[in-house]
Structures are given as structure tokens and as C-alpha cells.
Structure 1
Amino acid sequence: MAPREKPSFRCPGALACVGAIAALLLLALTIGPLSADAPPTLRELPRTDGEGLPPPRAAIGPLEWPRLIAESRRACEGPCATPFGQVLGVADGAAARSNCVSTCLHPERSFLDLETGEVAVSRDAPAGGAKHYVGITYQCVGYARLWWMKSRSLTFGDVEIAHDILYLTEATDPRTGAIVPLGRSLNGTARRPPERGDLLVYLADREDPEWRAGHVAVVVDVDREQGLVALAEENYDNRPWEDPQAFARRIEMFEINGRFTLLDVAPNSRTSADGGRIGGWVYPVH
């Protein structure tokens, strides 16, 4: 394959250039590599419950980067759904904070001190072996790691976007280093219902800025009788949680002939103008 030209960016000054480069690197970690090629076909993964594993999202092309960076910067300027950093709710000791709006991206990262349970925000990795990487500040993937580390003593490796959590095959105990296999249930064909602690993965939509990376939330309660699943999360709508001490919101679940389908629709609703498509749920297999 012939090599492609890398994109170049004009910077009006040294500080601006450094900021642009930092933004590019951060965006690379968040939305994927500089590649115009379609991802390879994904084979069925082990420990998969259900049929029809959704494919990985298409790669972000290099010519799209300047527009995405500009959009992210404008989004962070507001107006915000709630002030950036405001606590929206807490589930099992894991506080969720506002990211202003879902398309905003700040360059800071979060780290959890396993000994104290405190979360530190920094541009650089802090010193000390007890501090473990959570994620880019106030993004949904970081909250999923935070909840798992606090409640399950588990974490998972880097993913380019939230959508890619659906393909993870293992997690790690940050305290012992032990490897734990992960399974996944595919929405609509799964025979295993979601359970408390599962990671609910939304599919990416390249055509919708709100869903370009997909989304991930933590299942914190399942009521099969009422057909409701309660979620804890960051950076969905950045509004205060429905129950600030328990869950952000609830969505509907249907059981049809022994298979489970979740819809991004609030209880007793029939539409969700801003909702996303749920790919499945991921969980440790012991």
C-alpha cells in the first residue's frame, strides 16, 4: 500500500501549536487512529452470548481531524447543560461529574488512588504506585473504569472509543494483576439478561456528533418484573441524575421468547429523540 501524506496544521504561535498538537494526541486516544481504511472484519469473540456481533466503527479519516478539534473546542465554551465538574450523582461511591456537553473534550486525565479512594485530575500521570488511570476527565469510559475499580476491583485496557468496549476479552485486577476473562451479551439476541455491574455499550454513529464514539454506562439495578434497567454514567446528557444517590436514569428492557432487548427509552415513553443504539453488555466471567 502506498504511504499516505500526514495532515499538517498551521499554528499562529508556539503556544497555539503546542495546544494543537496536544489536542491531536488527545483526540487520537479518544476517537481512533489516523486511518482512512475500514477496520478488518471481526470474527465472533469467545464467551459471546447471542448472534450478530456488530462490527467496529469505521476509522476517522485524517482530513476530518481539524473539524473535530474545532468542534470540541467550541463545545467546551458552552452553553453547558450543567457547569463543568459539577457532581451529578453518586453510585456505590463513584461520583459522576458534568462534562459541560457530550461533545466537549478537555485534555486532563483522572487517576484513582486505590488506598484512599480519592480521584485526582492531572495532565500528567501522578507519582505513586497506588494511583491508577481512570480515563479522560468526565468521559463515559472513565466513569465505567472508576465504578469497576471501586466496586469490582477490576479495570480494562485502552479503547479508542466507548463502542470498542464491546470487543474486550479480559479485565485486570489493579491490586493483584490477576487477569479475568470478559464475556458479552448482544442486545436483541442475548439469553443472559443484564446484571448489576455490567457495562452497557452503545454503538458509534459516524454521522451523529453526539454518538460518534458511542457510549458506555454501568448497570446498577435490574427490575425484570417491571422491565427496567437503572444506569450510572458520565457524559450522556450531563444533567443531574434522576436519583442522585443511586442512578442517572432508567431504560426499558423486553424479554421475548427467552431473549433480551434493551431500548434507550425512558420508562413509559415511546420515543427518544436523542437516544442511541445499544450493542450489548460486557461482564467478568469467573
Structure 2
Amino acid sequence: RRSLSEKEIAPYNVIVGVASLNVAAYSNGNDKYISNEDNYLYEIYMGMKWQCVEYARRWTLLRKSSIFESVNSADDMWNQLKYIERIIDKEKFSLKKHSNGSPNLPINESYLIYPIQKDMPYGHVAIIVDVLKNAIRIAEQNFYFNYWSKNYSRQIPVVFKNGLYYIQDEYEVYGWMEIYDNKQLKPLDNLTIEKIQMKNKKSLDLTSSSQKTNHIYYFILFLIIFISHFIFS
């Protein structure tokens, strides 16, 4: 795919834009490329570089201090995801689905989900980062590969017809998933990052301690067997 309004294609692994103050979107080069490279942030799995689901999960971590469970594709998010989970205390916050053609206007900071269709063999997910009177603005990865001119990737019309709101994209849209958190979730800050790093360190220390214990156990077992061999032979 190529944006009609922009010409320059960004090569793989280059930042094409930044949304929501600090969530960078990277170019996947083209929509057929699969990197098979995993991306981690603060030792938390984000997804495969630079797929749309990776962006959605990284946005969720940076803007909501939370993550969502693993899915095979963006299409699966619509039917499989029921909540996101705050990193620090694992509290769960529900996701509320609004099908395209909803009595409610699209909601900012929601997931916009596309089903599997032509040009989208895995579906697609974007983040709604602004809601206007007759349009929404979204941020995403692996859709267009041009540099953004502003702090969002695309603006999509929204129409109100027969009491319902429709997002009029060129592709079919399932709808949007609202993060139902009553404004409890906050962007990731330095204190939370420190807590995550401390938690990771404790986990590594426990693993290391367990490995040392196992090594000692097997060494003692070897000595017992070795000594027993000479005593009873």
C-alpha cells in the first residue's frame, strides 16, 4: 500500500511518525515482509517487528501501563480479547466492543479492528488517537509506509446515518474496542519502569539461585554415587 498524499517510502526499521506524545511507529518496509524478529520493551514482549499488533501492544504499555494477551493476528483481537492487564498489579480492565454502525461516537484511545479481507490476510489494528466531529485520526504500523506529516497516520471520515455512527474506511471495519478503565490507567512513568525492572531483577535472581541450587544438588549426588562405588565395590 502507498499513501496517495505522500511519496517517500520509509525503509524497514525507520521511524515514520510518533503519536500520543511518545509512541513511535516504525516502517515494516512493505506489508508482505515478516521480520521474524521479536521486540521487547523493559523485557516485556511487544510482538514481532514491525507488525500492527506490536504497535498496539507497545502503545498500550506506554500510554496505559498495561498489556494485552497474545493473539495470532489482529483479526483475533475482536473476538478473543476481553481485557487489558496493568503491569504492576495485574488488575484487569475490560474492553467494550462497539461494532461499526454504533449508536455511540467512536471513542479516543480505543483499538480500531479490521477483519481478514483482501490486502489484509491477518486483519489490522490501529489506535484511535483523536476524535473529530466528522472523522477520527489513527496511529498504526504496517499499513502505509510513508512518513507521517503530523502526529497520526491517517484521518478517516465518520458519518452519522439513521442514528448510527459509521467509520467510512476503504476497508471493512469490525468496529472499535473501548478500554473501560474509568480513567484509572496512566502513561508509563519512571517510577513504574523502575518497579518493572526491579521485578525483572528479582525474577532473574530467583532463576539464578534455583540454577545454583540444582548445580549443588547434582554435584552432591555425583559425590555420593562416586564414593558409594568405592565403598561397596
TM-score w.r.t. structure 2 length? 0.71
1:89-110 Cα offsets, whole Å, 9 max, x none, are: 0012010010000111011111
**Counterpart position of 1:253:** 158
Question: What is the 5 A alignment of 1:83-122?
Answer: 83-92=11-20, 93-113=22-42
Counterpart CA distance in 2 for 1:84 and 1:180 is 34
Which SS does the other structure have where 2:174 is aligned? strand
**Counterpart position of 1:180:** 93
Counterpart CA distance in 2 for 1:236 and 1:223 is 22
Is the 2:109–2:179 contact (alpha carbons within 8 Å) kept by the matching residues of 1? Answer: no
Is the 1:81–1:101 contact (alpha carbons within 8 Å) kept by the matching residues of 2? Answer: no
**Counterpart position of 2:107:** 195
1:209-254 Cα offsets, whole Å, 9 max, x none, are: x211111000000002xx11000010001111131xx111100001
The AA in structure 1 aligned to 2:152 is F
**Counterpart position of 1:240:** 147
Aligned match for 1:221, one of 130, 145, 148: 130
**Counterpart position of 1:162:** 74
Which SS does the other structure have where 2:12 is aligned? coil
**Larger radius of gyration between Structure 1 and Structure 2:** 2
Please report how far the alpha carbon of residue 112 of structure 1 lies from its aligned counterpart in structure 2 after TM superposition. Answer: 1.4
Counterpart CA distance in 2 for 1:135 and 1:221 is 24
Is the 2:128–2:137 contact (alpha carbons within 8 Å) kept by the matching residues of 1? Answer: yes
Where does structure 2 lack aligned partners over 5 or more consecutive residues? 1-7, 182-233
**Counterpart position of 1:132:** 44
The AA in structure 1 aligned to 2:159 is F
Is 2:193 the counterpart of 1:280? Answer: no
Q: Percent identity?
A: 28
Which SS does the other structure have where 2:106 is aligned? coil
Runs of 4+, deviation exceeding 6 Å? none
Aligned CA RMSD, in angstroms, stands at 1.4
Which SS does the other structure have where 2:107 is aligned? coil
Please report how far the alpha carbon of residue 81 of structure 1 lies from its aligned counterpart in structure 2 after TM superposition. Answer: 3.5
Counterpart CA distance in 2 for 1:155 and 1:259 is 31
Please report how far the alpha carbon of residue 276 of structure 1 lies from its aligned counterpart in structure 2 after TM superposition. Answer: 1.8
Is the 1:132–1:174 contact (alpha carbons within 8 Å) kept by the matching residues of 2? Answer: no
Please report how far the alpha carbon of residue 143 of structure 1 lies from its aligned counterpart in structure 2 after TM superposition. Answer: 0.3
Q: Alignment length, in residue pairs?
A: 172
Please report how far the alpha carbon of residue 82 of structure 1 lies from its aligned counterpart in structure 2 after TM superposition. Answer: 2.1
RCO comparison, higher one (Cα < 8 Å, 6+)? 2
Counterpart CA distance in 1 for 2:100 and 2:66 is 23
Is the 2:95–2:177 contact (alpha carbons within 8 Å) kept by the matching residues of 1? Answer: yes
Counterpart CA distance in 1 for 2:115 and 2:168 is 12
Counterpart CA distance in 2 for 1:199 and 1:102 is 20
TM-score w.r.t. structure 1 length? 0.58
Counterpart CA distance in 2 for 1:284 and 1:222 is 15
Please report how far the alpha carbon of residue 158 of structure 1 lies from its aligned counterpart in structure 2 after TM superposition. Answer: 1.1
**Counterpart position of 1:121:** none
